[in-house]
Amino acid sequence: MRPQRSTLITAALVALMFGAAGAPGSPAGGPVVVPLYVEHGPHGDPRLGIDVAIGERTARVLLDSGSAGLRVLASQAGASTRRTGRAAAGRYGSGLALHGEEATTPLAIGAAHGDAIPIELVDSFDCLPEQPNCPAANGGTPEMFGVLFPGILGVSAIDPAGGRCCANPLPALAGGVGRSYVLHANFANPALILNPDAATTGAFTMVDAARGTSPRGCIHITGAEPSEVCGEVLFDTGTPPCVVTTTGVGHEGAFPPRTPLTISVGAWSHTFAVGPGTPLRLNVRRGGVNRIVVGLAMLQDFDVYYDIAGSRIGLSPR
């Protein structure tokens, strides 16, 4: 089926053009709609890119709702970017480890901007010892740090612990426009909407998410084992499939064609079909903690609203 243009994006664009008032408690001035771009890596998986101005230089980086902080190759920083002398390191679930330095920079994302925003300048990368086959193995260049993108903009509501570099930069943008935002990942017209108005946010089912934590939820897999896994839920544009980690028994091989899968978080739930004959991949593996990572393919079906100040997230089917 050919995707239809999103009414959510249309409403946000109208609000932006005509200066609609923000949601209660949000900054005045109406929404700021930042376009996203669908890019394809060497293996064909779609990714979402976003243009950010780092000082005097603009780069299209990966938009990642599963991590926090702007981390870019040092060569992408403009002349007004200043190193602080403090070491910074990032690591990802793939086993990729970053080595660099914290810096502060003027930052612009669409029409929003901020001064002296902390970022990581990446000077080198390698693999974590326990994951030697990461994307940087054998001198390789990772897709998100050189092949397709020069860096990652992490917009997760969970910042690194202990004040380490680097926090999600959106809440630090001028006027508070990044303290709430909607992630519309649909490939037909993807966008990040900062400071969404009440007409937009009213469509979302809200779930409490204490600062620094993910909401808890469950997946129910019809006619398969395991039939249910409950734990923290992360909505992650940087991961293509749905990845479930369970302390119980994992699942070997593919699921039957069009296996129904329901994800529930608070009062919100949505059912997908996974397995052969669908575009959705589901990996269920054994691990030390129950965790559900909802990847980019599933985010084609619904939008996520992040209310940082209110420690809430919202979910709305498209």
Q: What is the CATH number of domain 206-317?
A: 2.40.70.10
Are 146 and 98 in contact, with CB atoms under 8 Å apart?
Answer: no
Domain extents in the chain: 7-197, 206-317
- The type of residue at 93 is G
pLDDT value, residue 110: 96
Mean pLDDT of the chain, nearest integer:
89
CATH fold match for the domains 7-197 and 206-317: yes
Dump pLDDT digits (tens) for 265-309.
Answer: 999 999 999 988 898 999 999 999 999 999 999 999 999 999 998
| CB atoms inside a 10 Å sphere around CB 201 | 20
- Res 9: pLDDT: 47
Binned at pLDDT 50, 70 and 90, residue 254 comes out as confident
Q: Which helix (H) or strand (E) holds 15?
A: helix 7-18
pLDDT at 209: 86
Q: Name the pLDDT band for 31 (thresholds 50, 70, 90).
A: very high
Cis status of the peptide bond prior to 35, with omega within 30 of 0 = no
Give the pLDDT of residue 225. Answer: 87
Sheet holding 180-184, edge to edge: 32-35, 191-194, 180-184, 302-307, 312-317, 205-208
Q: Is the pLDDT of residue 6 over 70?
A: no
CA distance 73 to 240: 23
What pLDDT is attached to residue 210?
75
More confident residue, 106 or 309: 106
Q: What is the dihedral of CA 272, 277, 279, 281, to 10 degrees?
A: 70
Say what the pLDDT of residue 117 is.
97
Look at residue 131 in the predicted model and tell me its pLDDT. Answer: 95
H helices of 202-256, where?
A: none
Can you tell me which residue has the tokens 């929404």? 31
CATH class of 7-197: mainly beta
Lowest mean pLDDT of 5-9, 145-149, 182-186, 236-240, name the range.
5-9
Classify residue 16 as left (phi > 0), alpha (psi -120 to 50) or beta. Answer: alpha
DSSP-based three-state secondary structure for 137: helix
Percent of the chain with pLDDT over 70: 91
Confidence category of residue 188, pLDDT binned at 50, 70, 90:
very high
End-to-end CA distance of the chain: 14
Q: Mean pLDDT, to the nearest integer, of 96-108?
A: 97
Structure confidence at residue 18 (pLDDT):
32
Strands 112-127 and 57-64, bridge-based pairing: unpaired
Q: What angle do CA 211, 215, 217 make, to 5 degrees?
A: 170
Distance from the Cα of residue 275 to its chain's centroid: 24
Give, in order, the Cα–Cα distances in Å from 45 to each of 2, 90, 243, 261.
Answer: 19, 23, 16, 22
Q: pLDDT, tens digit, for every residue of 200-213?
A: 999 999 999 876 68
Q: Which pLDDT value is given to residue 28?
A: 56
Residue 170 backbone dihedrals phi, psi, to 5 degrees: -60, -45
* pLDDT-above-90 percentage for the chain: 77
Mean pLDDT of 42-47: 89
Between 169 and 2, the more confident residue is 169
How sure is the predictor about 66, in pLDDT bands with cuts at 50, 70 and 90?
A: very high
Q: Which of 190, 231, 200 is nearest to 307 (CA)?
A: 200
